[in-house]
Structures are given as structure tokens and as C-alpha cells.
A = this chain, B = another copy of it.
Amino acid sequence: MNSKRNPASKKPADSTKASRRRFLTTGAAAAALGAVRTATGQTSPPEAKSLTDQVAYGDRSHYVTSLRVPVDGRPSPDEFGMTFHVLAPLQDLVGIITPSSLHFIGTHRGSIVPDIDPQQHRLMIHGMVDRPLEFSMDDLKRFPSVSRVHFIECLGNHSKPEDKTVQETHGLTSCSEWTGVLLSVLLKECGVQNRASWVVSEGSEEVKGAGSIRLAKAMDDCIVAYGQNGEPIRPQQGFPLRLVVPGFEGIYNTKWLRRIKVVDRYYMTYNDYGHISKDEEVAALTFQWGPKSVITFPSGGQKLPAPGIYQLTGLAWSGGGAVRRVEVSTNGGHTWKDAEIRGAVHPKAHTRFGMDWKWDGGECVLQSRCTDELGQVQPSRAQLAAFFKVPPDHYKTHGVQGSDNMIQPWRVAGDGSVHNAI
């Protein structure tokens, strides 16, 4: 339903309530609004599915056409390059759960999805432990489980001037209820030795994607996850097993997890291209995500049909913990107003925010700013440039050091069209 975020009233109004009421009582107004198409295109026509199959496992409506799109339109990693990233349609999502079928994908050279038989799959934990152990999927389910809502976001989630939609600027983040065993429980089962200080996790895909995290993080809140949104993890997210490293960049959330080695140093792996830096400040930024947020309506590529009252909404999150506050500016950052948190607030999870917003028909710039439970405040591009001592416009043409959590500005033009304003 591409038009769902573009309601409109026919005329500007003096107050939110009066404006809504005038709109609602002018019966024909709604019918006059055409559907606004997103950049996501169309699904295939619905397949004929027997009643028995529909009863067994349901589908979404054929009127719902929200889709993921590959970064730069590349349909396959094998044909076009080293990495393969697929963007979640954030502009179409509601609440905080990303439907598993629309979760972003970030993967590397080789097959997109290893086809793993869970009965055959094993997780080995070895290295600096007293008892190296191998766990089947059944073994893992012998340990106490946790179910926690966390976002996963790829380091590649940069907003670039050429990106038009929020799917393009921010679509490499998603949020799920993950179920599994705390990594700390498994490590204690194996007996971590005193000299150990890092943990390396390895996946099953062709390139054996791997990541190094500090033992302190491994013993904190990492989950060896087998469940995603109530069912087994989807293949594109690591079926049957994924290491979820809450708040850390996507690359550390090893998919198709098959091996964990306890070690005494950072291990270089295939996945370290671009993730390592001699600058300690930059290096630190490649682990944990800072506070971040983005307005998903109105956002780039959408068009407001007319002045009036809208529900501005978006997502906020932080690798540092729970979101405590989201502020919104509708005048390019001159003034800010607290948005409402609209739903559950989980640590290191997408958090939905929203507010009434009246568009008077003039050009304006919309921005959101997240503050997390540590008191960290999402920076503007200018603030980050000042911090890293680069020119103010540096990030329009250069990559960001570490992760990009800068404030995203959307410019609403006089004709109601919305544009990326970085």
C-alpha cells in the first residue's frame, strides 16, 4: 500500500484538530488522492495457492507491494562485485518489528545463502577454553533461552547525496525479536581461560565471514540465536544460527554461525576490509553504533499532496542502550521539539517515534535527533566534521570515519516533494 503515508487535507488549517476534522468531513478529499509510488516497484502478481496451502501458511495481501531493493540495483553478488547489500523499505514499516521477509541483507563474496540442514549443523567453541565443545542445534536448545528485541545495522548504512529515499539512505538496518542462548552461558560451559581476551566468530558461507569482539562483550549480552520473530531464523539472516551482538555493527553479527574461537588478541579476518583503522577513535566507532534516528515519513521520494496536518514518524536506536529521547526539528535545526515515543522501548532496538506536524506549504527541512540512556546525543554532520577536524562539507564527498549516525535532513519543497538534504 504505497500511498499509506501520504494522507492530505485540501487546505491549510489553524489547528491540528480543526484541520483533521475539516479534512474528514470533506468526503471526496480522500478519494481524490492518488497513490504515491515508492521506488520499490511492484511484486509479481499473486500466485494461485490452494486453500489448503493458504490455511497452512498465510501470505500478505496482493495489494501490499513493499519490497527490498539491492544497493545500486545490483541483483547478484556474483556478477557485480565483492559485497551484496539489500535495503529494507523503512518508509513502509510500522511499529518496531521488521517483517522477516523484509529484513535487510548484507553479505559477501559467494553464495547469498548457504543451504544448511539444521540436523547436520554444529557450532564448535574452542581456543582458550578448558573444554572445547561442539553443539548441535538440539544441544543448544538444552540451555536456557532469552528472547530480546534488537536492531542489526550494517556499517554500510551511509546517507549519500545521491540517495533519494530513506530505503536508500538508511535501509541497512532492521529490528527483530531474537531468541537463543546467551553466548556467556556457552562460554562458561566451555570454561574460558584467564589469558583470553577476544572471541572470533566464523560463519559457514563461502568466504567464512568472521569477526572479532572483546571477551567482555561476548560475556555481556551476545546471543547465539536460532529464532527470529517467533520462528527459526530466516536463511538470509543466518539460518540455522546467528551470533547477535547487540548494538554492534552488522558485520559482528555472524550469520550461519559454525565456530567460535576464544583468543588473546584481535584476529584479522576476511571481513576486516574497511573495518580496521590505526586511529583509535575511528576504530572504536566501528564497533558500537552511536545514537541514531531517521524520519521515515515524510522522507525522500514521497510527496505531500497538500498542506495540512500529518503524522511525522520515524525510528530511533542506539548501540549504547535504550533510546531516552527523540527530538524533531521542522525548521532546519533552529528549534527542536520532543517527539512522542510510540511503542515499547528496548535497549539496542529500533524505537518508534511520532508527532503531529502541520505543513504550511512552504519549503522546510525536517530532522530528528536521538539521545540514548548514556546521554549520548546524535550529532549533526557539522558537529561530526568539527570533531574529526575536517571541513564542514567533508561528508558530502567523503566516507565517514567509522559508523555514520549523523542527523538526516529531509527538505520538503514548495510542491510537497521531499528530498535528501545532506
Give chain A's interface residues, CB within 8 Å of chain B. Answer: 1, 3-9, 17, 20-21, 23-25, 27, 30-31, 33, 35, 43-44, 51-61, 63-64, 66-70, 75-76, 86, 92-103, 105, 112-113, 116-119, 131, 133-139, 141-149, 177-179, 189, 226-227, 229-232, 234-236, 239-240, 309-311, 313, 340, 342-344, 346, 352, 354, 356
Complex: A135 Cα to B7 Cα, angstroms = 11
Measured between C-beta atoms, what is the minimum distance from A222 to chain B in Å?
A: 16
Given contacts A139-B23, A143-B20, contact A179 B95 (CB under 8 A): yes
Are B94 and A234 in touch, CB under 8 angstroms? no
Given contacts A57-B102, A99-B100, contact A63 B117 (CB under 8 A): yes
Are A99 and B141 in touch, CB under 8 angstroms? no
Are B134 and A21 in touch, CB under 8 angstroms? no
Are B143 and A311 in touch, CB under 8 angstroms? yes
Complex: A38 Cα to B119 Cα, angstroms = 16
Are B230 and A98 in touch, CB under 8 angstroms? yes
Residue of B at shortest CB range from A77?
B51
Most chain B Cβ neighbours within 10 Å, of A56, A69, A236, A239:
A56
Measured between C-beta atoms, what is the minimum distance from A337 to chain B in Å?
A: 14
Are B311 and A354 in touch, CB under 8 angstroms? no
* Cβ 8 A contact of A30, one of B64, B136, B354: B136
Query: Closest 3 CB pairs between A and B?
Result: A147-B343, A94-B227, A95-B147
Are A230 and B68 in touch, CB under 8 angstroms? no
